[in-house]
């Protein structure tokens, strides 16, 4: 039976996700529920504690959701992340499970020394078909046997898949209702992935494209995070409204989502600090937009 402190912590997961992830409120309760059911021991014991597939346009927070939930529940270093674009060749399963009795493979190495784990498999649609067979086994009965004969159990763990399947439908249906977009995206997913795999993933989370107003919220969040990080290493910045607008213009990308926005903010602030240090020896001050050079500069 879970104690009151554990229940209170689990209750805070959804709020934590809402604080740090913008524009996807419609999926956060369902994502939090996957982890909550697992942590309370409510799921069957013949597979992982929880599994879900997050689909939709790139840069909308699919991977970030998994990282946020894992850090909140288990602390650092619990996510075992695999980019499946690297597992497209025929030897993909051998690389994952090992090639001989001396090789535990990437799965065995990732499993060593920590439990529970959160397995994150990005870009599911790019995996070799034999890797999909492996995932079916990982989901049910919930364990895999390595080339060295050892068995890795995923029953204490969580398994999350991400995919950009349905991204084109989501972007094309910008003016449609969320329900219509979700139906179209899941139809595309069903056409592309094997039914025996999808049947073993009970939760399919459809992430929405990021509207301009959501991108602004994300820009302000990333900006606050980067300002705080730079302050922690000795550079105290105040950001003007004009500087924020410049960062949004430079980083906004309707197809690529928030990823280039964060990259733009980090690069521009860091470069402004460097220029300030080189020109005046000061890496602190007020950030303003310099139209002449189309960049940010520091006023000490």
Residue pLDDT, tens place only, 156-166:
999 999 999 98
| pLDDT score recorded for residue 1 | 57
| pLDDT score recorded for residue 138 | 96
User: Can you read off the two tokens belonging to residue 102?
Assistant: 């001396």
Q: Do domains 4-206 and 212-299 have the same CATH topology?
A: no
pTM over 0.85: yes
Helices in the chain by DSSP H: which ranges? 4-11, 13-20, 25-39, 62-74, 92-97, 105-111, 129-139, 167-172, 178-192, 195-198, 212-232, 241-251, 259-280
Domain boundaries, the chain: 4-206, 212-299
| pLDDT score recorded for residue 231 | 95
Residues in the chain: 300
- State which fold the 4-206 domain adopts: Rossmann fold (3.40.50)
| pLDDT score recorded for residue 159 | 98
Q: Which ranges of the chain have pLDDT less than 50? A: none
Kindly report, residue by residue over 114-143, the tens digit of the pLDDT.
899 999 999 999 999 999 999 999 999 999
| pLDDT score recorded for residue 256 | 73
| pLDDT score recorded for residue 172 | 84
- State which fold the 212-299 domain adopts: Helicase, Ruva Protein; domain 3 (1.10.8)
């Amino acid at each position: 039976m879970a104690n009151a402190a554990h229940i209170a912590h689990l209750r805070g997961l959804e709020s934590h996700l809402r604080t740090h992830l913008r524009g996807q409120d419609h999926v956060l309760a369902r994502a939090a529920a996957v982890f909550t059911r697992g942590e309370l021991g409510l799921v069957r014991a013949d597979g992982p504690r929880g599994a879900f597939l997050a689909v939709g346009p790139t840069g909308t927070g699919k991977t970030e959701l998994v990282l946020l939930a894992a850090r909140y529940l288990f602390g650092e270093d619990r996510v075992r992340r695999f980019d499946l674009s690297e597992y497209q060749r025929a030897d993909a399963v051998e690389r994952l499970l090992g090639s001989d009795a001396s090789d535990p493979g990437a799965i065995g190495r990732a499993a060593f020394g920590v439990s529970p784990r959160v397995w994150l498999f990005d870009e599911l649609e790019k995996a070799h078909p034999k890797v999909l067979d492996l995932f079916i086994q990982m989901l049910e009965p919930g364990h895999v046997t390595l080339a060295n004969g050892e068995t890795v159990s995923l029953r204490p763990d969580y398994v999350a898949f991400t995919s950009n399947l349905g991204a084109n439908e989501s972007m094309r249906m910008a003016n449609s209702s969320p329900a219509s977009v979700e139906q179209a995206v899941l139809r595309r997913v069903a056409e592309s992935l094997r039914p025996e795999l999808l049947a073993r993933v009970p939760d399919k989370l459809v992430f929405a494209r990021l509207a301009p107003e959501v991108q602004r919220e994300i820009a302000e969040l990333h900006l606050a995070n980067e300002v705080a990080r730079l302050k922690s290493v000795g550079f105290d910045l105040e950001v003007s409204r004009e500087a924020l607008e410049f960062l949004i213009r430079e980083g906004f990308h309707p197809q690529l989502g928030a990823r280039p926005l964060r990259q733009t903010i980090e690069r521009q602030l860091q470069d402004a600090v460097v220029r300030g240090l080189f020109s005046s020896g000061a890496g602190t001050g007020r950030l303003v937009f310099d139209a002449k050079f189309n960049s940010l500069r520091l006023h000490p």
